Amino acid sequence: MPITGSIDKAVDRALELNINTFQIFTRSPRGWKYPPIPDEVAEAFKKKVKENGFKGIASHMPYLPNLASPDPEIYKKSVDSLIEEIKRANLLKLEFIVLHLGSHMGKGIEHGRRRVAEAVLKALSTEESEAVILLENMAGQKNSVGSSFEDISKILDEIGDRKKVNVCFDTCHAYAAGYDLASPKAVENTLKLFDEIIGIKRLKLIHLNDSKGGLGSRLDRHEFIGKGFIGKKGFKAIVNHPKLKELPMILETPVSNYKEYAKDLEVIRKLIEG
């Protein structure tokens, strides 16, 4: 939900769509600078959330931070940005903070994984987080960290905090990285693999996005639900799966205006059984 005008306006927009959870950027996603959140705005946000019964609200880190970066200056700015996001999430009483894990910039996957783990540990040691930090799986772009379940598992093992750091699963990213989700059997197989490598209990939130790229394409290109390679059969299996159906699910399909999400919401709701 956009925060244009004031962060609490995101709640009003969510109410227009008749949804019970949502995700926001607490600041511009494409810059390093940000204004503080006024206390009165934070109070208005929390009041509206409580009065309307919203649950599982997440913030998403901006796109510029790279927690896997080998560049000392970028890395420090990225860790500082995560610390700031924790402060903002605490102020708004958000439940989750979603992280893109970034790029190792050619330094190798082990270096990248270590940098991400160290960044999260540094941030948590600097600012106590009330929100759970979620590592989001990536689509497998060149030098990316976190496109494989093994990557995420190793980072989680190094961080160690099972209560404060878990996983956000993006369907488009998973499919692009080679994890099939296009049929009930494929969904079952992928979730079984996730459980074996990471543990299904560590999955706390789902990004529902169809994929413009084919299986294993490594293209981070979101598509409208049912219009991409995952398709309606895949999403029907996802939203009705007993291990997933109670989790918060966030649409990040390529709309130009938040009101356009109504179309994807209608598609998803028709797929939900019972």
Tell me which residues are annotated as active site. 30, 60, 63, 100, 136, 170, 173, 207, 220, 222, 252
Contact between residue 49 and residue 88 where contact means Cβ atoms under 8 Å apart: no
Strand 132-136 and strand 165-170: pairing? parallel
Report the C-alpha gap between 169 and 171 in whole angstroms. Answer: 6
Report which of 227, 192, 193 is spatially closest to residue 211, judged by C-alpha positions. Answer: 227
Within its chain, how far is the Cα of 23 from the centroid?
9
Q: Which residues contact 256 (CB under 8 A, 6 or more apart)?
A: none
SS3 145: coil
Within its chain, how far is the Cα of 261 from the centroid?
17
Contact between residue 147 and residue 173 where contact means Cβ atoms under 8 Å apart: yes
Strand (E) or helix (H) holding 42: helix 39-52
